[in-house]
Each structure stands twice: as C-alpha cells, then as structure tokens.
Chains A and B, each alone.
Chain A
Amino acid sequence: MIITTTLGDMDETLLVKTTGFQDSSIDRVEWVEYRLPTDPEGTHIHRSVHVVIKPPANPVTITSNL
C-alpha cells in the first residue's frame, strides 16, 4: 500500500508503522503513524487521526415554568 508522507508517496513496507488509541468520556481517538526505519523513534512522516465524537456532557434541557 502506498502511504502519503512528507517525503512523498512511499511503499508501506519501507516504513515503520505505529498505531494507538485513547478512549475517554468525550472521545475515542485512533491514530496511525509512519516513520523511517532509520529513525524508528524519531519524527513521524505521516500521521492520520480518526476521532469518534461523543455528545457534549451538557445536553440542552428545555423546561417551562408556570
């Protein structure tokens, strides 16, 4: 698979892939990062993020008083 990077399009097999996620009360975030094999812990050259939005904790409540 071809990955778009800051160095141009590169074959995925030539890169080091890292994925991760976090899940909280406000979101679930998943990300994928690619780095060069020569710098596997350095600056990523591609990072995509997928966020699942959760509703606000303060939903609008409508009331009437008489």
Chain B
Amino acid sequence: MASTAGTTNSFKLELLEGVHNFSSVNPARTANTVDVFKAALYTTTATLGPTTTVYATTGEVGVGTTNYTAGGQTITNATNPVLYSNTATWTPSANITWTALTAPTAFDTVLIYNSSQGNKTVSVHTFGAQIVTAGNFTLTMPIPGAGTSLINLA
C-alpha cells in the first residue's frame, strides 16, 4: 500500500501541546507546566486581526469601565488539547465571566493570548457590539469537537 504524504494528525495535536519547537530562539519552558492564557476585551474601534502578534492595551475596554482589569481575565485551562479524527483542537474548560461590569463603550472583540510567553496572541474572536451596565458579561465557550472547538488545526 502506497504511503500518503501529509502532515500527521499527531503533529497538529503536538503543536498545541508545545511538543515541537523549530526555532533556535525559544522561550524557556518548564516540563508539564501549562502556560497561562488570558482573554481581553476590545472596543468596536480596535483593529485586531490575524496580523496582531502581541497583546496591547490600545483599543482595550478601559476608560469608564468598572470591574475590568487591563489584560483581561485568566482562562481556565483544565483540559488538554484533543485530537478529533484529523483535527487538533483546544477549548477553554470554563466560561469566562466579568461580574458587576459596567462597560459603557461598545465592545465586540475578545483576544486570546499567552501571558506566559510574552503575551503572544492566539486568536481573535468577534461578536455583535455590546455594552454592559452593572451586569455580568459571560463568554460561553463552544462545544469541543472537530470544527466546533475554539481552536481548530485541520
């Protein structure tokens, strides 16, 4: 039987697990220590996207906001990446909630970034513009699965 060329499925998963490092410039890592990932909210005037490389405060929910700390919240990450068939995935293991929040300036973006590795970005997610007044703001994570998880390497 002929071989089939292609990136292996295990490699996709291992990228999310930090197993492979192709660069001679790499941050020090401690074995079996999970990096800390955070979620930060951005206003509708922010211009984040695929070219955003590092977390920055520019455009972040801020002035006039109550109960929001610059940098956002630490993401609960109790579930390791999972391989579903040929798609490696990762989804935070808990929802993210800001309580008693007042954010009078409309916001529509959440940035996921790695605060353990120089605040390097992971992904940008957008939603309909919102304001919150003396209330809770909850980001519910998607159901894990191929194509439905928050991060999908296919």
Contact = CB atoms under 8 A, between A and B. Distances in A.
B47 interface: no
B149 A48 contact: no
Contact of A53 (B6, B12, B125): B125
A1 interface: no
B134 A53 contact: no
A14 interface: no
A60 to B, nearest CB: 5
B132 A64 contact: no
Interface string B132-144: 1111111111100
Size category of the A interface is: 20 to 34
Interface residues of B, number: 38
Contacts of B125: 26, 53, 56
Interface string B104-142: 000000100000000000011111101111111111111
B152 A55 contact: yes
B140 A54 contact: no
Interface of B: 5-7, 11-12, 15, 50, 87, 100, 102, 110, 123-128, 130-142, 147-154
